[in-house]
Amino acid sequence: MAPEDTCTAEPYRPYGAEIKETRPYSPCRAACPAHTDVQAYVGLIAQGKYTEAFEVITSVNPIASVCSMICHHPCEQSCRRCGVDEPLAVRHLKRFAIEKSKDYRRAKRKLVKKTKGRSVGIIGSGPSGLTAARDLADLGYSVTLYEKHPVLGGMLAAAIPPYRLPREVLKEDIDDIISKGVEVKTNFEIGKDTKLDDLAKKHDAVLVAIGLSLSRSLNIPGVEGPGVLLAIPYLEDVAFGRKPDLGKSVLVIGGGNVAMDVARSARRLGVEKVEMVCLENEQEIPAWKWEVDEAVEEAIKINYRWGPKAVKRENGKVLGLEVTKVLSVFDANKRFAPTFDNKVTTLLEADTIIITIGQMSNLAFLKDSPVKVDERGRVEWNPATQMSSAKNVFVAGEVVTGPGSAIAAVANGRRAALAMHLYMQGETIEGRLPAQEKEKIAQMPSEVVEKISKQPRMKIKHLAPEVRVKTMDHFEMGYSEAEALEEAGRCRGCGGGAVVDQKKCMACLTCMRVCPYGAPVVTSVSEIRPEYCQACGLCAPECPAQAISMVSYDVREIRNTLPTIIGKVDADRQEPVIVALMCNHHAKVIGVPNNVKAIPVHCTSRIDILDMLKAFESGADGVAIIRCGSGTCKYRDIEPRVNARVKRVQDLLGMLKIESNRLEILSAASNNGGNPYVAVCADFSERVKKIGLRTK
């Protein structure tokens, strides 16, 4: 790429980004280790603003495509809809926005100017290493990634099976990062191709982000020898297309997510009989529930509450695993302390046994280096500075945090990048890194939950189990546009609601009277409680002092942008200029006639009297307020207030000698076939045409 092809554009920030940092986070955002602004990007998806949603997602997460496939989505477990019906399908919406932005993301890849005059070496290109590389490159540092595997991605590329993470998805994230000018050295192993000391001298700062690349084994009789494999070497064979000889039956020891990857990939390699054995019972098993359910669908048997005792062999060949009954896994203090009944044993037959009981880091390259390792074989580090015992060597990811998720490694990589930046700028690090724990909005009060209509989560289709076990292809089918828009419409907008400028507030009680959810509390001034507020926007247009604003959108945006949206009105036009302010809940795919200026809003409750008047002032021949069908609005008691506003504008139009029927409220549900938005807009346009085109 040519040196002059460099990036200087300011990063996109969603409306309200600054004020959100001063307020409690939405629970979904607080639960995300990287604090991705879920409410913001889901709201943008609901408006059809997919590239803007992509920008919000990737602003804090450079491996967003990866996470859209494999993230354990703690945001969903924290979704406040859990108390109503089902959580929002956040991961699938993320995937949709990213896939819709493919051309955009490729076109925006640019070199970043190296303005700092300093260089950084990053050992390991897993989630934390890639994240630090992106952030430091964006700050203007020269960055070099050192990866021992033939491709970038660390364990994402070398251990996660392709049926979970298609390699072309990982490549999109990596291409974004290296396009910034990051230098790459693959098949390069520290300790073998160069020493850590030499690397620390070459660069102004070094980051160790090597993850957990070694599998732990078991100290039981018969474990050494053919027929017993370790998880990571086995998964590397799968990832790089090397088919291990597994025989006709496989037994996987362990119950974590890695064990699920091992067992499910064995089925895809043609093994008919795949079993698992774990210490835990169905409630204690550490793998995610959906992983367990999908494994069972794929005819994988899980033997609960059995512990490995010995590998049984005959003439060196594995016969199976002798196991003993587990009485308990944890002690009274919930600490791991398994107990067994050694009198109860059985043999689980298998041709191949694969051990998946945990991972550790390969720290051999730290020998004789200034980076200290403690008595337990872990790197010594300061979490407040991300620094090791060597002054310019930093650490990030699972090498110091222990086993975790990809998104947690991303968060730690971001902290490390900031720490390295502060260090290289000669600034103090301690106390400057962001806190992981964030204050969040409380769960919805029961009286609010009762007022929210239930709407089922849009399900994701999977390939049938008997089909997917025959291929390493990805088995989840993504959302269509119509499905994604409908699912995004389920979001309650937590964290994006109303706020009061108390300097303007007159304590007139209007907000208290109009709010369907009881969010405002008025004393000498009004205060809107975020745990009650549903971000419907009904209060803002009703406030006589204009003291209420919304965190998630500009309440004056419509009237400020209408002149530009309408543009210069052609005096010789044959078709009327129609402004359609349409609710995007249930909108599906909008495709209105060319003479209709469609402005999606998250609810017609946010449309102000001044917005409607501004449309006519800017030259519109007609204005349509298009709302959900009766009973389908996701907010409560909206219709009477919107009706009253429209009636007020119609009266004002009459005073201005403009026909009042140039303004109508329409329902998208009134059309039974095709796209209802197209139909109602076309019908209204014809009615306005009969009234006649306006002249100024």
Give the C-alpha separation, 368 to 391, whole Å.
16
Closest CA to 641 of 492, 500, 516: 516
DSSP category for residue 332:
T
pLDDT value for 592: 78
pLDDT value for 675: 65
Closest CA to 310 of 357, 345, 263, 265: 345
* Section 167-180 average pLDDT: 98
Query: Tell me, what amino acid is at 662?
Result: R
Sheet containing 183-185: give its strands across.
Answer: 183-185, 142-146, 119-123, 205-208, 393-395, 387-388, 381-382
Sign of the torsion formed by the C-alpha atoms of 220, 226, 232 and 233: positive
pLDDT tens for each residue of 486-529: 899 899 999 999 999 999 999 999 999 999 999 999 999 999 99
Q: Give the confidence band of 376 by pLDDT, cuts at 50, 70, 90.
A: confident
Q: Give the confidence band of 449 by pLDDT, cuts at 50, 70, 90.
A: very high
Whether 409 contacts 398, CB under 8 Å? yes
Q: Which of 161-170, 375-384, 385-394, 493-502 has the lowest mean pLDDT?
A: 375-384
Q: Which residues contact 674 (CB under 8 A, 6 or more apart)?
A: none
Structure token digits, residue 577 = 């200029």
What percent of the chain stands above pLDDT 90? 88
What percent of the chain stands above pLDDT 70? 96
Structure token digits, residue 600 = 């999606």
pLDDT tens for each residue of 387-435: 999 989 999 999 999 999 999 999 999 999 999 999 999 999 999 999 8
pLDDT value for 590: 60
Strands (E) across 254-380 are located at: 273-277, 301-303, 306-314, 317-330, 336-349, 352-355, 359-360
**pLDDT reading at 630 higher than 50:** yes
Whether 258 contacts 266, CB under 8 Å? no
pLDDT value for 653: 97
* Residues in a beta bridge with 345: 324
* Section 593-616 average pLDDT: 93
**pLDDT reading at 633 higher than 90:** no
3-state secondary structure of 125: coil
- Which of 175 and 590 is assigned the larger pLDDT? 175
pLDDT tens for each residue of 188-203: 999 999 999 999 999 9
**pLDDT reading at 362 higher than 50:** yes
* Residues in a beta bridge with 361: none
- Which of 241 and 346 is assigned the larger pLDDT? 346
**pLDDT reading at 636 higher than 70:** yes
Give the C-alpha separation, 624 to 680, whole Å.
9
pLDDT value for 551: 96
First to last CA, the chain: 53
The three-state (H, E, C) secondary structure of 335-370, written as one string: CEEEEEEEEEEEEEECCEEEECCCEECCCHHHCCCC
Give the C-alpha separation, 566 to 403, whole Å.
55
pLDDT value for 667: 85
**pLDDT reading at 87 higher than 60:** yes
* Section 263-288 average pLDDT: 97
pLDDT value for 30: 97
What domains does the chain contain, in order, with CATH numbers?
A: 111-213+361-424 (3.50.50.60), 215-359 (3.50.50.60), 498-550 (3.30.70.20), 557-691 (3.40.50)
Q: Which residues contact 284 (CB under 8 A, 6 or more apart)?
A: 329, 330
* Section 641-660 average pLDDT: 96
* Section 254-266 average pLDDT: 97
